[in-house]
Each structure stands twice: as structure tokens, then as C-alpha cells.
Chain A
């Protein structure tokens, strides 16, 4: 299969490219950028006039709900949502049922994902057996089975000794440890940021210090053990400053935020909108602004979708009882573009937060376009509007704070391994 993508604006942050150039694909790989190779006869031509052609997006946190939670979503439905959002590589956290704590489960997930022939799935292995925070998993074996990193998902890892040991052991094999910073005792009953809105609505709060206390422990132990650390989904302004300082000191630490947290704050909860019940909680406007600044300055490396499909019934409950999370795969690009437009961030820099930088964290050779490399790419219309509605979302989860919003940035076509896996309906 030979494909010629013509007339597009090619943006590849990893190679610092932003120019009009044609792209030639053969046998699943990019064979040329700009110049048509001699004797190239395309089987398929894609006209990308007025569109952006860029590497497929890399999402560091997408729950696919398999194994264990198929009633909420299936691998099939969510992989369909990923490619509809232009995402060609995604990492999934280990909090499935059972958790991804043994090689057989990881192989099964990889196999299931591969047979669907859509986006690449990179499982994140569990740091401890059953995510119970006690016994180390066979991390090296899990790596061999396909785990790209290790995490504890949303489960507490309270015991500082265990936390130090998992970092030491991971560092032995140079494995990357992904952690969420949230102190369990300070957040156990909380459902919203401890601040003005939670006080007004009478919702139990999660103070910002629940994050910074845990983060400080993680950073101290990272220094102690030399482990490679990625901090997932920070939410407070203090955390941004702590990460900035840690990077300045030369610590091997990176971090991301969810696309929801670029735009929303506690104020968006309004009168108990359970779609705004998220983990970590939406914090104050000051925090949100600090996250945006941190993202612009590169202190925050990447934006993830934090995709969490939840069925309607689990959201139609009083705020605290509603299940936290939001669907996100199809909103990742529009929410990043919205940020770029509002904060006047050049498109190439904005796209680097969902291509180049998460790819570097994932360390799986994706997120860029170059001759001889896999043709995983996304073609999108930066001016195309679409409305977020249950019927416009491929994901089985229809739960998002942005339901009813008009979004700018419409994915037209997604290619994985040189095959067109998604094409938008003409509208």
C-alpha cells in the first residue's frame, strides 16, 4: 500500500518541522518527506489542503476498561475512540480487574489490542502485586512481556519503605516509575478541592497539600534511589513549583496534566455537576492558571487525556457517590488547541505536548515523522468545528464536563503503520 498525502501543512515537533510538504508512505513507513521518490506510484492519494499533518498523538493515560470492566467500555470501543481522536499510541494504567501484575495478563492485553489493528497499546505494569502496596511484582518479566513503565494507578502506596523499594528495584533495570501524588489519609473521604466551592456546596475536600506532601516524598525518594520518575496528573500550583525546582536540581523527573485541568477549575462544578467529579480534583483558578503557565514553560512535559469512560448510571448519583472520571480520547486534541489559541502558544509547541514529549516519556520510538519510521500520523482540520454530544463520541463513555461544547480541531484521518484506520464522515 502506497499513500501520497499532498498539500498538507506538516508539523513534526520532534524534528522541528512546520512547513508545507507532501508525505510519501510505503510498506507502513514514511519513505519520503517533500520530494516524491523515483518511481513512486501511490495507490491512494489524500488531499490535505488546509489541513495539518502531524505525528499520531501519544496519550500517557487512557483507561480501556479491559480486562474486568467491559460493561463500561471495551477495548474495541475505546480503541475506536482513540483513532477518532488522532491518538495512535496510548499507555493504559494497571488498575484493571485483575490488575496488570503478571506477564500473562499483559501479553493478553497486548494481543487483544494488536488483533484490533488500531492504535498501539502500551500497558503500564503494576508496581506491587494486586496493587495492594505490599509485594513487588516481577518487573523485569513484565517489561519483557511488554510493559513500558510501572505505576500504582490511583491506589495508595502509603508505606514509604515499599515506595523506596519499588523505586530501587525499578532503577536496577532502568525502568520508569509513574506515580500519582496523593496522600491517602488526606484525601480518603474527599471528593472535591478543599476550597471555596467545596465549602459552599458542603462537599468533603481534598486539600492541595494532599498532593504536595506526597510529591515531596516521591521527589525525596527519587533523589535517594536515582529512579526515573514520571509524576502523573498534577493539579496544584505548588506542585508545578516543586517539579520546576526538582528539574533544576537535575532530577530525572517528568510530569503531565490531564487536558481537563488545563481549562477547568472548581468553579465549573457549579451546582454539583458530577461530570466535574475528577481525580485529581479540579482546583482553584489560581492553580489552573499555574498549570497553564507550567505547561507553556515546559515544566509540565505532556498533556494526557486521562480517559475514564463511566456509564451513565454511575454518574447519575449525588456528586460524592458518582464515579470520578471523564471520557477524554476524542477531546485531547481540541482541548490542547483551545489552550494554544487562548495562551498564544505556537501550534508546533502545543502539539509537542501530545507528540514529542509524551513519546520521550514513553520511550517507545513513536511520536515523530521521519524517513524509515512507522507512518503513525494524524491529519486534522485546525479550523473544523464539532459539537461534543453523546452521538458524536465513539467512546462508550459519554461523560465529560465539555458535553454540549463546540470544539475547534477536527480529526479528518488517522493512519497507523501506514494504514488508514480512521476517516471522518464528510459533513
Chain B
């Protein structure tokens, strides 16, 4: 059996591959560190020299704009050298294997890999085969995990709600195909949120999702009742084609977040979304741009959280 290798023998973070199995103290340590970096991002000179001389490779086997950019900004604010590789367009199409690509880049003296890949487990595979001084950050692997997204979501919740122990949180949408949802669930349950709900039609919930420690709802009016935090998920257009959903219209009618449905939650509930949003499919524009939306602060905090993760890894 292969273990989760992200914590080294001294109990330090060696890689960030998934939230699963991380101790609560580690999560708080990351969030606290991020808090100290928020100040940096607001300064006139937005740079600290913590990662000076380090080579960080953004290894994106799947297209991404937002995540890649925020990692790049975060690395640059830590004074690291960032190399962006868009692999889907180069070596993979020439038949090079994932590990060959990684080995070649390791030979160029990489210090850290930030990996996005369409297959669940890709980041674990890489972490298992890199030299011990190289760190791997999972920036999204298939349907499995997107730990930095979940951490920035937790940062945002903590910023607006302070305490995790009295919250009711609902994750709404395509949980089945979502790496974000899986990481959010692990983060919320680890941080002690007493009630985590998932709301979706049965075709978009994976089997046995309750085993992850959540309550499954299929009806927004029940699932949103008295909720403090709403975590919306992106619904990809291709999901409309198979036999998962009949149409965008029907999905929006029953599961799209409108002001009426939001009114079922607590009056001070906050609305979050990992982006990019499909307005009019999973979320109504008036909610996305409304007073309860914290979607833009999420993006800002994302940079500080990624700085925190990189600096903690580099220090281990």
C-alpha cells in the first residue's frame, strides 16, 4: 500500500498533495502564515526575499489561467524564479511520459514543481519519484484534489467568520467531478466544522460521499436552510452533453443560486466560488456581484495562501 508522502519524518510538510491526512495544526499554521503575507501583498513593494535563487516550475498539463497566474505571482513575490511550462502543447504530444518530463526538469535543478494534471494521482506519482530535496505542490489532479484552492477557501471563511466550530457549510454543484469539493470537504471536516452539506442532483454526487463526513441533499430549499457559508462549484459545459443533466436551464432552475434561494440561508451567509463562474448556470449575476459574495477577496487571499505554502515547503 502506498502512503500519503506529504509529511516527512520530522513532521514537516514535504509536499502539498492533498488536504486529506494533514493535521489541524498544519492547516492553521498555513493559514496563519498566509495572514502574515496578506500585508506584503498590500505594500508598495510587494516582495520578500524568502525564496531568492529558487527555481519554481509551473508544470501545467491542463490549461489554466487563474491558478497558474496566482502561483506565478505568489512565487515572484517571494523572489523566486518562475518557469512556466504548458506541457499539453509540447512534450506530451511527442509521446514523452509524465515522469520523463519531470526527470528532465529535475536535471535543470528545479526546487519546486507546481503540477496540474487531468489524471487523479498525477501529483502523488511525481512526488514519489522526485529527489528528496524537490517539493511538489498539487495544483489540481483530475477529480482528486486541489489543496491550495481549499486552503484559500478556508482562509476566506476564517477571515469573514472567525470560528469554524459553529458553522454550517454547504457545497453546491458538481461534486462528482470536482477536485475542489473533495479538498474542501477534507479541510472543513479537519478544521472542525460541525456540519458540511453537499447539494446536487444524484447524477453529480459520487457514490458513498457520506463516508467523507458530509450530509447529502438533493433539494436546495432544504440544503440551504440556515447555512453560513455557500461554496459554489463550477459546472462544466460538457456535463450537459452526456446523460448527467438534461439542460442548463433545468439545472439553473433547481440548483442555480438565485437571490430567492440565497434568502433561505442565514442572512449573514457568504457566497464563494472557485472560478471561473458560469453566470446564469450555477450562479445568478445578482448573487455573484451582490453584497454577500466574497468571490473577489478569495482571489486576493489565494496569492497569500500560495505564498504561505511555498515558503513553508521551502523551509522544511
Contact = CB atoms under 8 A, between A and B. Distances in A.
Given A273-B2, A317-B97, A317-B98, A202 B207 contact: no
A122 interface: no
A320 B143 CA distance: 12
Interface string A263-280: 000011111110000000
B194 interface: no
B98 A318 contact: yes
Nearest to A272: B121
Interface string A301-328: 0000000000001001111110000000
B211 interface: yes
A273 B2 CA distance: 6
B26 interface: no
Contacts, number: 84
Interface residues of A, number: 26
Contacts of B97: 313, 316-317
B208 A202 contact: no
A94 interface: no
Interface centre among B4, B20, B143, B182 (most CB of A within 10 A): B143
B1 A270 contact: yes
A345 to B, nearest CB: 25
In terms of DSSP, what is the predominant structure of the interface of chain B?
Answer: loop
Contacts of B4: 270-271
A172 to B, nearest CB: 39
A201 B207 CA distance: 12
B120 A203 contact: yes
Contacts of A198: 206-207
Nearest to A203: B120
Given A202-B145, A271-B121, A318-B117, A195 B2 contact: no
B280 interface: no
B179 interface: yes
Contact of A318 (B20, B120, B145): B120
In terms of DSSP, what is the predominant structure of the interface of chain A?
Answer: loop
Contact of B3 (A199, A267, A271): A271
B125 interface: yes
Contact of B99 (A203, A204, A207, A316): A316
Interface in B130-180: 141-145, 179
A200 interface: yes
A385 to B, nearest CB: 21
Nearest to B206: A199
19 contacts: A195-B207, A199-B212, A200-B20, A201-B120, A201-B121, A203-B143, A205-B207, A268-B1, A271-B5, A271-B17, A272-B120, A273-B2, A316-B125, A318-B117, A318-B121, A319-B119, A319-B120, A320-B119, A321-B119
Given A203-B142, A272-B124, 20 more contacts: A199-B208, A199-B211, A200-B182, A200-B211, A201-B121, A201-B144, A202-B142, A205-B207, A270-B2, A270-B4, A271-B4, A271-B124, A272-B121, A316-B97, A317-B125, A318-B120, A318-B121, A319-B119, A319-B120, A320-B121
* Ranked 7 nearest A-B pairs via Cβ: A202-B143, A272-B121, A318-B119, A202-B144, A270-B1, A199-B206, A273-B2
